[in-house]
Structure 1
Amino acid sequence: MTIRQSTPPDIAPDELRRAVDWALSTRRSIRAFLPTPVSCEEVSAILDVARYSASGVNTQPWHVHVVTGAAKEGLSDAIMRVYDDPAQMAELEEPYDYYPREWLSPYIDRRRKVGWDLYGLLDIQKNDKDRMHAQHGRNYAFFDAPVGLMFTMDRSMGRGSLLDYGMFLQSVMTAARARGLDTCAQAAFNAFHHIIATELGIPEQQMFVCGMSLGYADPGRIENSLVTQREAVQDFTTFHTTTNMETAT
Protein backbone atom coordinates (compact mmCIF):
# COMPACT_ATOMS: atom_id res chain seq x y z
CA MET A 1 0.00 0.00 0.00
CA THR A 2 1.29 3.42 -0.97
CA ILE A 3 0.27 6.34 1.22
CA ARG A 4 0.87 9.90 0.12
CA GLN A 5 1.34 11.75 3.40
CA SER A 6 0.61 15.12 1.80
CA THR A 7 -2.83 14.02 0.60
CA PRO A 8 -5.64 14.75 3.09
CA PRO A 9 -7.92 11.80 3.91
CA ASP A 10 -11.30 11.60 2.25
CA ILE A 11 -13.14 12.04 5.56
CA ALA A 12 -14.41 15.01 7.56
CA PRO A 13 -11.91 16.28 10.18
CA ASP A 14 -14.28 15.68 13.12
CA GLU A 15 -15.05 12.17 11.91
CA LEU A 16 -11.37 11.42 11.43
CA ARG A 17 -10.55 12.65 14.95
CA ARG A 18 -13.33 10.54 16.47
CA ALA A 19 -12.16 7.46 14.59
CA VAL A 20 -8.53 7.83 15.68
CA ASP A 21 -9.52 8.64 19.27
CA TRP A 22 -11.84 5.63 19.32
CA ALA A 23 -9.16 3.23 18.09
CA LEU A 24 -6.67 4.49 20.68
CA SER A 25 -8.99 4.74 23.68
CA THR A 26 -10.82 1.43 23.18
CA ARG A 27 -7.68 -0.68 22.78
CA ARG A 28 -7.47 -3.14 25.66
CA SER A 29 -5.53 -6.27 26.50
CA ILE A 30 -7.85 -9.09 25.45
CA ARG A 31 -7.38 -12.42 27.22
CA ALA A 32 -9.89 -14.63 25.42
CA PHE A 33 -10.32 -14.78 21.64
CA LEU A 34 -12.76 -16.38 19.24
CA PRO A 35 -11.46 -19.06 16.83
CA THR A 36 -12.47 -16.83 13.89
CA PRO A 37 -9.56 -16.94 11.42
CA VAL A 38 -7.51 -13.88 10.53
CA SER A 39 -5.90 -14.10 7.11
CA CYS A 40 -2.24 -13.48 6.41
CA GLU A 41 -3.40 -10.73 4.06
CA GLU A 42 -5.12 -8.94 6.94
CA VAL A 43 -2.03 -9.27 9.13
CA SER A 44 0.09 -7.91 6.30
CA ALA A 45 -2.29 -4.95 5.90
CA ILE A 46 -1.90 -4.11 9.61
CA LEU A 47 1.88 -4.30 9.41
CA ASP A 48 1.80 -2.27 6.20
CA VAL A 49 0.27 0.61 8.15
CA ALA A 50 2.42 0.12 11.27
CA ARG A 51 5.64 0.38 9.24
CA TYR A 52 5.11 4.14 9.08
CA SER A 53 5.84 4.38 12.82
CA ALA A 54 8.51 6.88 13.85
CA SER A 55 12.02 5.65 14.60
CA GLY A 56 15.27 7.44 15.35
CA VAL A 57 17.00 8.41 12.08
CA ASN A 58 14.62 6.01 10.32
CA THR A 59 16.34 2.90 11.71
CA GLN A 60 13.08 0.87 11.70
CA PRO A 61 14.48 -1.70 14.17
CA TRP A 62 11.49 -4.06 14.13
CA HIS A 63 11.26 -7.60 12.80
CA VAL A 64 8.02 -9.55 13.07
CA HIS A 65 7.53 -13.33 13.14
CA VAL A 66 3.89 -14.27 12.47
CA VAL A 67 2.79 -17.66 13.79
CA THR A 68 -0.44 -19.41 12.89
CA GLY A 69 -1.77 -22.95 12.64
CA ALA A 70 0.65 -25.78 13.37
CA ALA A 71 3.57 -23.40 13.92
CA LYS A 72 1.66 -21.57 16.64
CA GLU A 73 0.52 -24.79 18.29
CA GLY A 74 4.02 -26.23 18.23
CA LEU A 75 5.45 -23.08 19.80
CA SER A 76 2.79 -23.12 22.53
CA ASP A 77 3.48 -26.78 23.31
CA ALA A 78 7.25 -26.19 23.55
CA ILE A 79 6.78 -23.28 25.94
CA MET A 80 4.21 -25.10 28.09
CA ARG A 81 6.55 -28.05 28.60
CA VAL A 82 9.00 -25.68 30.26
CA TYR A 83 6.35 -23.56 32.00
CA ASP A 84 4.96 -26.64 33.77
CA ASP A 85 8.42 -27.74 34.96
CA PRO A 86 9.65 -25.69 37.98
CA ALA A 87 13.25 -26.88 37.52
CA GLN A 88 13.42 -25.62 33.95
CA MET A 89 11.60 -22.41 34.86
CA ALA A 90 14.23 -21.63 37.49
CA GLU A 91 16.92 -21.57 34.78
CA LEU A 92 15.19 -19.03 32.53
CA GLU A 93 16.51 -15.49 32.10
CA GLU A 94 14.89 -12.45 30.53
CA PRO A 95 16.54 -10.98 27.41
CA TYR A 96 16.43 -7.52 29.01
CA ASP A 97 14.93 -5.81 32.07
CA TYR A 98 11.36 -5.09 31.06
CA TYR A 99 10.16 -4.58 34.62
CA PRO A 100 12.08 -2.87 37.45
CA ARG A 101 14.24 -5.01 39.70
CA GLU A 102 12.62 -3.30 42.70
CA TRP A 103 8.98 -2.27 42.54
CA LEU A 104 7.98 1.07 44.06
CA SER A 105 4.68 2.87 44.54
CA PRO A 106 2.59 3.83 42.58
CA TYR A 107 3.76 1.27 39.99
CA ILE A 108 3.55 -1.74 42.28
CA ASP A 109 0.05 -0.66 43.33
CA ARG A 110 -1.14 -0.48 39.74
CA ARG A 111 0.41 -3.85 38.98
CA ARG A 112 -1.28 -5.50 41.93
CA LYS A 113 -4.64 -3.93 41.17
CA VAL A 114 -4.80 -5.14 37.59
CA GLY A 115 -3.77 -8.62 38.71
CA TRP A 116 -6.33 -8.93 41.46
CA ASP A 117 -9.05 -7.29 39.37
CA LEU A 118 -8.49 -9.96 36.71
CA TYR A 119 -8.38 -12.81 39.22
CA GLY A 120 -11.47 -11.39 40.91
CA LEU A 121 -13.43 -11.55 37.66
CA LEU A 122 -12.28 -15.15 37.22
CA ASP A 123 -13.03 -15.99 40.88
CA ILE A 124 -9.43 -17.05 41.50
CA GLN A 125 -8.53 -16.73 45.18
CA LYS A 126 -5.13 -15.50 46.42
CA ASN A 127 -4.13 -18.94 47.69
CA ASP A 128 -5.24 -20.84 44.59
CA LYS A 129 -1.80 -21.29 43.04
CA ASP A 130 -2.93 -23.96 40.59
CA ARG A 131 -5.58 -21.76 38.97
CA MET A 132 -3.20 -18.80 38.92
CA HIS A 133 -0.65 -20.98 37.14
CA ALA A 134 -3.24 -22.17 34.64
CA GLN A 135 -4.53 -18.67 33.93
CA HIS A 136 -1.04 -17.26 33.43
CA GLY A 137 -0.28 -20.23 31.20
CA ARG A 138 -3.02 -19.10 28.83
CA ASN A 139 -0.55 -16.47 27.65
CA TYR A 140 1.39 -19.24 25.94
CA ALA A 141 -1.68 -20.46 24.06
CA PHE A 142 -2.10 -16.88 22.84
CA PHE A 143 -5.39 -16.80 24.75
CA ASP A 144 -6.75 -18.95 21.88
CA ALA A 145 -6.14 -16.19 19.31
CA PRO A 146 -5.60 -17.48 15.77
CA VAL A 147 -2.49 -15.33 15.24
CA GLY A 148 0.62 -14.83 17.33
CA LEU A 149 3.19 -12.13 16.67
CA MET A 150 6.75 -12.43 17.92
CA PHE A 151 8.81 -9.24 17.80
CA THR A 152 12.61 -9.09 17.64
CA MET A 153 15.32 -6.55 16.89
CA ASP A 154 19.03 -6.63 16.17
CA ARG A 155 21.17 -6.85 19.31
CA SER A 156 23.46 -4.14 18.01
CA MET A 157 20.77 -1.51 18.52
CA GLY A 158 20.67 0.73 21.61
CA ARG A 159 18.00 1.19 24.25
CA GLY A 160 16.47 4.02 22.23
CA SER A 161 15.35 1.43 19.69
CA LEU A 162 13.07 -0.01 22.35
CA LEU A 163 11.32 3.37 22.42
CA ASP A 164 10.95 3.15 18.65
CA TYR A 165 9.64 -0.37 19.05
CA GLY A 166 6.99 0.78 21.50
CA MET A 167 5.63 3.17 18.89
CA PHE A 168 5.57 0.36 16.35
CA LEU A 169 3.68 -1.94 18.73
CA GLN A 170 1.14 0.80 19.45
CA SER A 171 0.68 1.28 15.71
CA VAL A 172 0.09 -2.45 15.23
CA MET A 173 -2.52 -2.51 17.99
CA THR A 174 -4.26 0.65 16.77
CA ALA A 175 -4.36 -0.54 13.15
CA ALA A 176 -5.79 -3.85 14.33
CA ARG A 177 -8.43 -2.08 16.40
CA ALA A 178 -9.46 0.02 13.40
CA ARG A 179 -10.16 -3.25 11.56
CA GLY A 180 -12.34 -4.67 14.33
CA LEU A 181 -9.55 -6.88 15.65
CA ASP A 182 -8.13 -7.04 19.17
CA THR A 183 -4.71 -7.68 20.65
CA CYS A 184 -2.80 -8.45 23.80
CA ALA A 185 0.84 -7.37 23.99
CA GLN A 186 2.67 -9.94 26.11
CA ALA A 187 5.97 -9.57 27.95
CA ALA A 188 5.07 -12.97 29.45
CA PHE A 189 6.87 -14.59 26.50
CA ASN A 190 10.17 -12.87 27.25
CA ALA A 191 11.61 -15.48 29.60
CA PHE A 192 11.11 -18.13 26.91
CA HIS A 193 13.09 -16.28 24.23
CA HIS A 194 15.56 -19.14 23.72
CA ILE A 195 12.74 -21.61 23.14
CA ILE A 196 11.01 -19.21 20.76
CA ALA A 197 14.27 -18.67 18.85
CA THR A 198 14.78 -22.42 18.50
CA GLU A 199 11.23 -23.15 17.40
CA LEU A 200 11.10 -20.31 14.86
CA GLY A 201 14.72 -20.39 13.71
CA ILE A 202 15.42 -16.84 14.88
CA PRO A 203 19.12 -15.95 14.50
CA GLU A 204 21.19 -15.31 17.65
CA GLN A 205 21.80 -11.73 16.49
CA GLN A 206 18.09 -11.02 16.93
CA MET A 207 16.96 -10.09 20.48
CA PHE A 208 13.43 -11.00 21.50
CA VAL A 209 11.31 -7.95 22.44
CA CYS A 210 7.82 -9.30 23.25
CA GLY A 211 4.91 -11.30 21.88
CA MET A 212 1.36 -10.38 20.94
CA SER A 213 -1.94 -12.20 20.44
CA LEU A 214 -4.15 -11.03 17.56
CA GLY A 215 -7.71 -11.95 16.72
CA TYR A 216 -11.36 -11.26 17.50
CA ALA A 217 -12.29 -10.82 21.16
CA ASP A 218 -14.74 -13.32 22.65
CA PRO A 219 -17.49 -11.04 24.04
CA GLY A 220 -18.86 -13.81 26.22
CA ARG A 221 -15.73 -14.23 28.36
CA ILE A 222 -15.76 -12.43 31.70
CA GLU A 223 -12.02 -11.62 31.62
CA ASN A 224 -12.62 -9.39 28.60
CA SER A 225 -14.78 -7.09 30.70
CA LEU A 226 -11.68 -5.89 32.56
CA VAL A 227 -11.05 -2.19 31.99
CA THR A 228 -7.94 -0.83 33.67
CA GLN A 229 -7.95 2.54 35.41
CA ARG A 230 -5.92 5.33 33.82
CA GLU A 231 -4.50 8.40 35.48
CA ALA A 232 -6.01 11.78 34.63
CA VAL A 233 -3.95 14.09 32.42
CA GLN A 234 -3.38 16.57 35.24
CA ASP A 235 -1.85 13.81 37.36
CA PHE A 236 1.04 13.12 34.98
CA THR A 237 1.45 16.42 33.11
CA THR A 238 3.26 19.62 34.05
CA PHE A 239 2.70 22.69 31.88
CA HIS A 240 5.60 25.16 31.91
CA THR A 241 4.58 28.67 30.87
CA THR A 242 7.32 30.76 32.49
CA THR A 243 11.05 30.34 33.03
CA ASN A 244 12.51 29.66 36.47
CA MET A 245 14.00 33.17 36.48
CA GLU A 246 10.60 34.74 35.82
CA THR A 247 9.02 32.69 38.59
CA ALA A 248 11.74 33.75 41.07
CA THR A 249 11.12 37.44 40.46
Structure 2
Amino acid sequence: MRHFQTVNVSASAFFLNGEINCPTIRPSMWRRRDLDCLAEPAALLSAADAIRTRRSIRAFTDQPVSRDMVTRILDLAARAPSGSNIQPWKVYVITGKARTDLSGALIAADMASDGVIHEEEYTYYPTQWRDPYLSRRRKVGWDLYGALGIEKGDKDRMGAQLRRNYLFFGAPIGLFFTLERELNLGSWVDMGMFMENVMVAARGFGLDTCPQQAFCKYHAIIRRHLDIPDGEILVSGMALGHADGDAPENRFETERAPAAEFAQFKGF
Protein backbone atom coordinates (compact mmCIF):
# COMPACT_ATOMS: atom_id res chain seq x y z
CA MET A 1 0.00 0.00 0.00
CA ARG A 2 1.31 3.46 -0.87
CA HIS A 3 1.93 5.76 2.07
CA PHE A 4 1.14 9.15 0.65
CA GLN A 5 -1.91 11.32 0.61
CA THR A 6 -3.09 14.15 -1.60
CA VAL A 7 -4.43 17.03 0.45
CA ASN A 8 -6.31 19.89 -1.20
CA VAL A 9 -7.01 21.93 1.88
CA SER A 10 -9.97 24.25 2.18
CA ALA A 11 -9.03 27.45 3.96
CA SER A 12 -12.01 27.12 6.29
CA ALA A 13 -12.04 23.35 6.70
CA PHE A 14 -10.27 23.21 10.04
CA PHE A 15 -12.63 25.53 11.82
CA LEU A 16 -15.85 24.46 10.10
CA ASN A 17 -15.61 20.70 9.72
CA GLY A 18 -14.85 19.94 13.36
CA GLU A 19 -12.95 16.80 12.39
CA ILE A 20 -10.55 17.16 15.30
CA ASN A 21 -13.09 18.48 17.78
CA CYS A 22 -12.43 22.16 17.23
CA PRO A 23 -15.34 24.55 17.77
CA THR A 24 -16.92 26.37 14.84
CA ILE A 25 -15.70 29.94 15.27
CA ARG A 26 -15.70 33.10 13.23
CA PRO A 27 -12.43 34.99 12.75
CA SER A 28 -13.74 37.79 14.96
CA MET A 29 -14.12 35.25 17.79
CA TRP A 30 -10.57 33.83 17.71
CA ARG A 31 -8.87 33.74 21.10
CA ARG A 32 -5.92 31.82 22.51
CA ARG A 33 -8.42 29.35 23.95
CA ASP A 34 -9.58 28.52 20.42
CA LEU A 35 -6.04 27.46 19.51
CA ASP A 36 -5.89 25.04 22.43
CA CYS A 37 -7.73 22.49 20.29
CA LEU A 38 -4.77 22.41 17.89
CA ALA A 39 -2.25 21.00 20.35
CA GLU A 40 -1.33 20.90 24.00
CA PRO A 41 -1.09 24.57 25.11
CA ALA A 42 2.52 24.12 26.27
CA ALA A 43 3.54 23.09 22.75
CA LEU A 44 2.40 26.34 21.18
CA LEU A 45 4.83 29.16 20.41
CA SER A 46 3.73 32.73 19.95
CA ALA A 47 3.49 33.88 16.35
CA ALA A 48 6.59 36.03 16.83
CA ASP A 49 8.60 33.16 18.33
CA ALA A 50 7.47 30.73 15.63
CA ILE A 51 8.59 33.14 12.90
CA ARG A 52 11.83 34.04 14.67
CA THR A 53 12.84 30.40 15.25
CA ARG A 54 11.87 29.11 11.79
CA ARG A 55 15.00 27.88 10.06
CA SER A 56 15.77 25.66 7.08
CA ILE A 57 16.79 22.50 8.92
CA ARG A 58 19.18 20.20 7.07
CA ALA A 59 19.35 17.30 9.53
CA PHE A 60 16.36 15.66 11.19
CA THR A 61 15.89 12.82 13.64
CA ASP A 62 13.83 9.76 12.71
CA GLN A 63 11.20 10.59 15.35
CA PRO A 64 7.85 10.04 13.63
CA VAL A 65 5.25 12.70 12.92
CA SER A 66 1.64 11.51 12.89
CA ARG A 67 -0.80 12.00 10.05
CA ASP A 68 -3.05 13.84 12.51
CA MET A 69 -0.29 16.37 13.23
CA VAL A 70 0.40 16.94 9.54
CA THR A 71 -3.31 17.49 8.96
CA ARG A 72 -3.46 19.99 11.81
CA ILE A 73 -0.56 21.93 10.32
CA LEU A 74 -2.10 21.98 6.85
CA ASP A 75 -5.55 22.94 8.12
CA LEU A 76 -4.06 25.82 10.07
CA ALA A 77 -1.82 26.88 7.15
CA ALA A 78 -4.87 27.01 4.88
CA ARG A 79 -5.92 30.20 6.66
CA ALA A 80 -3.44 31.85 4.28
CA PRO A 81 -4.93 34.57 2.09
CA SER A 82 -5.50 34.03 -1.62
CA GLY A 83 -6.93 36.24 -4.34
CA SER A 84 -10.74 36.03 -4.19
CA ASN A 85 -10.25 33.10 -1.78
CA ILE A 86 -9.55 30.65 -4.63
CA GLN A 87 -7.15 28.62 -2.43
CA PRO A 88 -5.08 27.26 -5.34
CA TRP A 89 -2.62 25.13 -3.38
CA LYS A 90 -2.41 21.34 -3.55
CA VAL A 91 -0.21 19.22 -1.29
CA TYR A 92 1.11 15.66 -1.60
CA VAL A 93 2.29 14.16 1.70
CA ILE A 94 4.66 11.19 1.66
CA THR A 95 6.19 8.96 4.33
CA GLY A 96 7.28 5.38 5.00
CA LYS A 97 8.16 3.08 2.13
CA ALA A 98 6.79 5.50 -0.46
CA ARG A 99 9.21 8.13 0.78
CA THR A 100 12.12 5.68 0.81
CA ASP A 101 11.36 4.47 -2.71
CA LEU A 102 11.15 8.02 -4.05
CA SER A 103 14.43 8.99 -2.39
CA GLY A 104 16.15 6.00 -3.96
CA ALA A 105 14.87 6.89 -7.42
CA LEU A 106 15.94 10.52 -7.09
CA ILE A 107 19.44 9.71 -5.89
CA ALA A 108 19.86 7.12 -8.64
CA ALA A 109 18.84 9.72 -11.23
CA ASP A 110 21.18 12.32 -9.77
CA MET A 111 24.16 9.98 -9.85
CA ALA A 112 23.39 8.42 -13.23
CA SER A 113 25.65 8.95 -16.22
CA ASP A 114 23.08 7.90 -18.82
CA GLY A 115 22.89 11.29 -20.53
CA VAL A 116 19.31 11.96 -19.46
CA ILE A 117 18.81 15.68 -18.79
CA HIS A 118 16.49 16.67 -15.96
CA GLU A 119 15.31 20.27 -15.89
CA GLU A 120 12.95 22.21 -13.67
CA GLU A 121 9.79 23.54 -15.30
CA TYR A 122 10.26 27.14 -14.18
CA THR A 123 13.25 29.38 -13.53
CA TYR A 124 13.76 29.91 -9.82
CA TYR A 125 16.98 31.93 -9.61
CA PRO A 126 18.02 35.07 -11.53
CA THR A 127 19.50 34.36 -14.96
CA GLN A 128 22.23 36.92 -14.18
CA TRP A 129 23.47 37.30 -10.62
CA ARG A 130 24.40 40.67 -9.08
CA ASP A 131 24.81 42.05 -5.60
CA PRO A 132 23.41 42.04 -3.03
CA TYR A 133 21.90 38.72 -4.13
CA LEU A 134 25.13 37.10 -5.28
CA SER A 135 27.05 37.89 -2.10
CA ARG A 136 24.18 36.68 0.07
CA ARG A 137 23.99 33.42 -1.85
CA ARG A 138 27.73 32.84 -1.57
CA LYS A 139 27.77 33.58 2.14
CA VAL A 140 25.02 31.14 3.06
CA GLY A 141 26.65 28.46 0.92
CA TRP A 142 30.07 28.83 2.48
CA ASP A 143 28.61 29.15 5.98
CA LEU A 144 26.85 25.81 5.47
CA TYR A 145 29.92 24.12 4.01
CA GLY A 146 32.07 25.59 6.75
CA ALA A 147 29.80 24.13 9.44
CA LEU A 148 30.14 20.74 7.73
CA GLY A 149 33.89 21.01 7.23
CA ILE A 150 33.57 20.98 3.43
CA GLU A 151 36.40 22.88 1.80
CA LYS A 152 36.11 25.00 -1.31
CA GLY A 153 36.56 22.85 -4.41
CA ASP A 154 35.55 19.59 -2.72
CA LYS A 155 32.97 18.74 -5.36
CA ASP A 156 32.41 15.18 -4.12
CA ARG A 157 31.31 16.29 -0.66
CA MET A 158 29.33 19.20 -2.09
CA GLY A 159 27.47 16.80 -4.35
CA ALA A 160 26.82 14.42 -1.47
CA GLN A 161 25.40 17.27 0.61
CA LEU A 162 23.17 18.35 -2.27
CA ARG A 163 21.83 14.81 -2.61
CA ARG A 164 20.75 14.89 1.03
CA ASN A 165 17.89 17.02 -0.26
CA TYR A 166 16.50 13.89 -1.90
CA LEU A 167 16.58 12.09 1.46
CA PHE A 168 14.54 14.94 2.95
CA PHE A 169 17.59 15.46 5.20
CA GLY A 170 16.40 12.47 7.20
CA ALA A 171 12.94 13.87 7.98
CA PRO A 172 10.13 11.29 8.16
CA ILE A 173 7.66 13.45 6.23
CA GLY A 174 7.97 14.95 2.78
CA LEU A 175 5.52 17.43 1.30
CA PHE A 176 5.18 18.47 -2.33
CA PHE A 177 3.31 21.60 -3.35
CA THR A 178 1.68 21.95 -6.76
CA LEU A 179 -0.49 24.40 -8.68
CA GLU A 180 -2.69 23.87 -11.71
CA ARG A 181 -0.79 25.03 -14.76
CA GLU A 182 -3.38 27.46 -16.11
CA LEU A 183 -3.22 29.57 -12.95
CA ASN A 184 -1.29 32.81 -13.22
CA LEU A 185 1.38 34.60 -11.18
CA GLY A 186 -1.03 35.66 -8.45
CA SER A 187 -1.56 32.04 -7.48
CA TRP A 188 2.20 31.62 -7.03
CA VAL A 189 2.05 34.52 -4.56
CA ASP A 190 -0.81 32.71 -2.80
CA MET A 191 1.24 29.51 -2.69
CA GLY A 192 4.17 31.35 -1.10
CA MET A 193 1.94 32.64 1.68
CA PHE A 194 0.48 29.17 2.22
CA MET A 195 3.92 27.54 2.39
CA GLU A 196 5.13 30.10 4.89
CA ASN A 197 2.07 29.31 7.00
CA VAL A 198 2.99 25.61 6.87
CA MET A 199 6.47 26.36 8.16
CA VAL A 200 5.32 28.74 10.90
CA ALA A 201 2.52 26.39 11.99
CA ALA A 202 5.02 23.53 12.20
CA ARG A 203 7.22 25.64 14.48
CA GLY A 204 4.18 26.40 16.61
CA PHE A 205 3.87 22.68 17.25
CA GLY A 206 7.58 22.27 18.00
CA LEU A 207 8.47 20.85 14.58
CA ASP A 208 10.87 22.05 11.90
CA THR A 209 10.93 22.24 8.14
CA CYS A 210 13.14 22.83 5.15
CA PRO A 211 11.60 24.15 1.90
CA GLN A 212 13.32 22.42 -1.01
CA GLN A 213 13.04 23.72 -4.55
CA ALA A 214 15.86 21.29 -5.39
CA PHE A 215 13.23 18.62 -5.99
CA CYS A 216 11.78 20.47 -8.97
CA LYS A 217 14.58 19.35 -11.28
CA TYR A 218 13.21 15.82 -10.99
CA HIS A 219 9.53 16.67 -11.33
CA ALA A 220 8.95 13.84 -13.84
CA ILE A 221 10.16 11.19 -11.39
CA ILE A 222 8.19 12.70 -8.53
CA ARG A 223 5.11 12.92 -10.72
CA ARG A 224 5.26 9.19 -11.45
CA HIS A 225 5.75 8.20 -7.81
CA LEU A 226 3.03 10.45 -6.43
CA ASP A 227 0.55 10.22 -9.31
CA ILE A 228 0.59 14.00 -9.81
CA PRO A 229 -1.55 14.90 -12.85
CA ASP A 230 0.16 16.46 -15.86
CA GLY A 231 -2.06 19.49 -15.38
CA GLU A 232 -0.21 20.43 -12.18
CA ILE A 233 3.24 21.98 -11.89
CA LEU A 234 5.57 21.11 -9.02
CA VAL A 235 6.37 24.32 -7.12
CA SER A 236 8.49 22.97 -4.26
CA GLY A 237 9.12 20.15 -1.85
CA MET A 238 9.52 20.40 1.92
CA ALA A 239 10.93 18.25 4.70
CA LEU A 240 9.01 18.10 7.99
CA GLY A 241 10.10 16.57 11.27
CA HIS A 242 12.13 17.05 14.45
CA ALA A 243 15.46 18.88 14.11
CA ASP A 244 18.64 17.05 15.09
CA GLY A 245 20.09 19.42 17.67
CA ASP A 246 23.51 17.79 17.50
CA ALA A 247 23.99 18.24 13.75
CA PRO A 248 26.54 20.95 12.92
CA GLU A 249 24.58 22.09 9.86
CA ASN A 250 21.73 23.12 12.16
CA ARG A 251 23.89 25.33 14.34
CA PHE A 252 24.65 28.21 11.99
CA GLU A 253 22.10 30.98 11.47
CA THR A 254 21.52 32.87 8.28
CA GLU A 255 21.58 36.64 8.43
CA ARG A 256 18.66 38.94 7.65
CA ALA A 257 18.84 42.56 6.54
CA PRO A 258 16.95 44.88 8.90
CA ALA A 259 13.82 46.69 7.76
CA ALA A 260 15.82 49.91 7.42
CA GLU A 261 17.63 48.35 4.42
CA PHE A 262 14.59 47.23 2.40
CA ALA A 263 11.61 49.33 3.56
CA GLN A 264 10.66 52.92 2.86
CA PHE A 265 8.41 54.79 5.24
CA LYS A 266 6.35 57.81 4.18
CA GLY A 267 4.17 60.08 6.26
CA PHE A 268 5.34 58.93 9.70
Please give the alpha-carbon distance, in whole angstroms, between the structure 1 residues aligned to 2:194 and 2:261.
26
Q: Secondary structure at the match of 1:204?
A: coil
TM-score computed with the length of structure 1 as normaliser: 0.91
Q: Which runs of 5+ in 2 are unaligned?
A: 1-13, 16-24, 34-44
Question: Which residues in structure 2 correspond to 1:63-102 (within 5 Å)?
Answer: 63-88=90-115, 91-102=117-128
Percentage identity across paired residues of the two chains = 49
Does 2:114 match 1:62?
no
Equivalent position SS for 2:129: coil
SS of 2:244 mapped into structure 1: coil
Match of 1:6 among 28, 41, 65: 28
Query: What CA distance in whole angstroms lies between the structure 2 residues aligned with 1:130 and 1:182?
Result: 28
What SS does the aligned partner of 2:93 have? strand
1:41 paired to 2:68: yes
Matched, 1:192 2:214: no
Which residue among 27, 32, 44 is the counterpart of 2:54? 27
1:42-63 Cα distance to aligned partner (Å, 9 max, x none): 0000001011100111111110
**1:50 and 1:172 in contact (8 A); partners too:** yes
Instruction: Work out the number of aligned pairs and report it.
Output: 235
Per-residue CA distance 1:117-173 (angstroms, 9 max, x = gap):
000010101111110000110000000000000111100100111111000000000
Q: Which residue of 2 aligns with 1:155?
A: 181
Aligned residue in 2 for 1:225: 251
Counterparts in 2 of 1:74 and 1:103: CA distance versus 1, 3 Å? same
**Do the aligned partners of residues 143 and 217 (structure 1) sit closer, same or farther apart at CA in structure 2, a change above 3 Å counting?**
same
Root-mean-square deviation (CA, aligned residues, Å) is 1.3
- Report deviation, 1:108: 0.9
Deviation at 1:4, TM superposition (A): 2.3
What's the TM-score, normalizing by structure 2? Answer: 0.85
| 3-state SS of paired residue (1:157) | coil
Q: Which residue of 2 aligns with 1:235?
A: 261
Q: Is the 8 A contact 1:82 1:88 kept in 2?
A: no
What is the letter of the counterpart of residue 90 of structure 2?
H
Match of 1:247 in 2: none
Alignment of 1:82-161 (within 5 A): 82-88=109-115, 91-161=117-187
1:22: how far off? Answer: 0.3
Tell me the CA shift for residue 88 of structure 1. Answer: 4.4
Partner deviation per Cα, 1:37-88 (whole Å, 9 max, x = no partner): 0001100000010111001111111100000000101111111111112554
Partners of 2:104 and 2:153 lie apart in 1 by 27
1:166-181 equivalences in 2 (<5 Å) = 166-181=192-207
SS in 1 for 2:91: strand
In 1, distance between residues paired with 2:101 and 2:144?
28
CA distance in 2, matches of 1:34, 1:49: 24
Determine the structure 2 residue equivalent to 1:53.
80
1:84 and 1:130 map into 2 onto residues whose CA distance is 11
Q: Give yes or no for contact 1:53–1:168 (8 Å, CA) kept in 2.
A: yes
Q: What is the CA-CA distance between 1:8 and the residue it aligns to? A: 3.6
Q: Letter of the 1:60 partner, please give it.
A: Q
**Alpha-carbon displacement from aligned partner over 1:172-209 (angstroms, at most 9, x marks no partner):** 00000000000000011111111100111111001000
Distance 1:88 1:53, change over 3 A: farther
